[in-house]
């Protein structure tokens, strides 16, 4: 089995210090309290949901000055809210909490992970930095967005060792994903950040979450999440978020305001609620995944198992038999796209999540036709194994 770690002890959380948060606090504590510190003073326990699209203002001169200030640097406007596309108090709570968990100055939320990535590309393009250096595999739609040049970007695909040589004067971004979707390949983010020089490194941290890995501590300037996945955690919210320094956050807010890729307040509320249980969910699902990876590795019907050294709740495995029969055969596990939910999901990347990637590029990146991606949830591990066992068919099955 490739890149395997079976240490299922709870990851040791760093302690975080932040303005107004008092003494440094463990990640598990931040997950529960970040973005909520003012609630008790307001006589509240649960965060309120502000569904307003617009807000009254009897000081039009003051409002104009705040809009002018936002137009200059994208800083969050001081004072009362102005308009839902400019910002929302409920969404801002989630952004504050996620930035604290990732150890960055700021975070900017969007309507989806792809909207978040698109905003990053637009920010760099606006500076005349349209060239992107990227390492495969990435999430299939991220790959497609870069390869198709839909936003005017040009991409150079490289192995990790080739990043420095691929940089050009107009390179605006280096993009990686670790662990990667769907192969779970892991990269040395600190070494890659060094190779990037002054070019910002964007690390997609969707699979690891800040519970297992904080890319900003290793030199990444932007940390991308499809918040639809583990941050929400229940399969009922779609969102994306970029954690970064305040300078880049300001530019991202300006793009969000101009293009309208805003996050709905109810989604912001669900994400904030999801963060409170993120460490518990990730650790419990990771324990299940490590055990299933052990059993799959020992099974003669399975050709190869990939499981990250840092742990996590994702498993990639190749079968000797027909992968489509496994998809059709599960009964407890749901055959569906997406991942990171409390229930387990399985899908065939070559048919769905990475179908938009050229077949040759898919194979070169390790996304073979017999590869299955399993997002392990919180069910009893023996029940999950019983479902996989019957779906895999007879012992040593071959097509």
Active site residue 139: yes
Return the percent helix, strand and coil in the chain, to nearest 5: 40, 15, 45
204 catalytic, yes or no? yes
- CA 110-207-287 angle, to 5 degrees, is 135
Q: Which two tokens stand for residue 165?
A: 């040589």
143, 204, 299, 387: the active-site residue: 204
Parallel, antiparallel or unpaired: strands 201-204 and 222-226? parallel
- Residue 338's region, left for phi above 0, alpha for psi from -120 to 50, else beta, is left
- Cβ contact 356:144 at 8 Å: yes
Q: Is 23 helix (H, G, I), strand (E, B) or coil?
A: coil
Selecting among 50, 85, 304, 369, the annotated active-site residue is: 85
Question: 89 phi and psi, to 5 degrees?
Answer: -60, -35
What are the E-state strand segments in the chain? 15-16, 25-26, 106-110, 131-134, 154-157, 171-177, 201-204, 222-226, 240-244, 302-306, 314-319, 334-335, 345-347, 371-375
State yes or no: is 6 an active-site residue.
no
Find the catalytic residue in 93, 124, 214, 229: 229
Q: Which of 225, 248, 274, 282 is nearest to 94 (CA)?
A: 274
**Contact 240/226 with Cβ under 8 angstroms?**
yes
The owner of tokens 């179908």 is 355
**Which listed residue (25, 100, 130, 139) is catalytic?**
139
**Residues with active-site annotation:** 85, 139, 204, 229
């Amino acid at each position: 089995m490739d890149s395997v770690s079976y240490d299922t002890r709870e990851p040791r959380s760093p302690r975080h210090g932040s303005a107004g948060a008092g003494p440094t606090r463990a990640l598990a504590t931040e997950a529960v309290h970040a973005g909520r510190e003012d609630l008790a003073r307001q006589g509240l326990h649960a965060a309120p949901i502000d569904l307003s699209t617009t807000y009254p203002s009897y000081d039009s001169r003051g409002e104009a000055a705040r809009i002018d200030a936002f137009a200059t640097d994208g800083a969050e406007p001081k004072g009362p809210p102005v308009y839902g596309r400019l910002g929302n108090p409920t969404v801002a709570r989630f952004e504050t909490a996620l930035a604290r968990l990732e150890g960055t100055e700021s975070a900017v939320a969007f309507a989806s992970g792809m909207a978040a990535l698109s905003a990053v590309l637009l920010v760099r393009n606006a500076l005349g930095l349209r060239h992107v250096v990227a390492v495969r595999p990435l999430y299939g739609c991220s790959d497609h967005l870069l390869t198709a040049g839909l936003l005017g970007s040009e991409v150079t695909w490289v192995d990790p060792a080739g990043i420095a040589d691929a940089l050009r004067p107009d390179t605006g971004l280096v993009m990686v994903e670790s662990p990667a979707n769907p192969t779970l390949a892991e990269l040395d983010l600190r070494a890659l950040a060094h190779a990037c020089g002054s070019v910002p490194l964007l690390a997609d941290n969707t699979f690891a979450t800040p519970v297992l890995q904080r890319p900003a501590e290793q030199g990444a300037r932007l940390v991308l999440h499809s918040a639809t996945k583990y941050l929400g955690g229940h399969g009922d919210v779609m969102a994306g978020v970029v954690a970064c320094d305040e300078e880049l956050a300001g530019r991202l807010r300006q793009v969000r305001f101009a293009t309208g890729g805003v996050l709905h307040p109810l989604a912001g509320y669900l994400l904030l609620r999801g963060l409170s249980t993120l460490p518990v969910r990730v650790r419990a699902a990771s324990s299940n995944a490590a055990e299933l990876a052990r059993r799959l590795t020992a099974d003669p019907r399975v050709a190869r198992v990939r499981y990250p050294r840092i742990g996590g709740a994702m498993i990639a495995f190749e079968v000797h038999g027909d992968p489509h029969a496994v998809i059709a055969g599960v009964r407890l596990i749901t055959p569906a796209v997406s991942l990171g939910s409390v229930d387990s999901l399985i899908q065939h990347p070559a048919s769905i999540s990475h179908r938009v990637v050229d077949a040759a590029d898919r194979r070169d990146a390790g996304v073979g036709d017999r590869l299955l991606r399993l997002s392990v949830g919180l069910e009893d591990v023996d029940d999950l194994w019983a479902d996989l066992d019957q779906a895999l068919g007879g012992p040593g099955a071959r097509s």
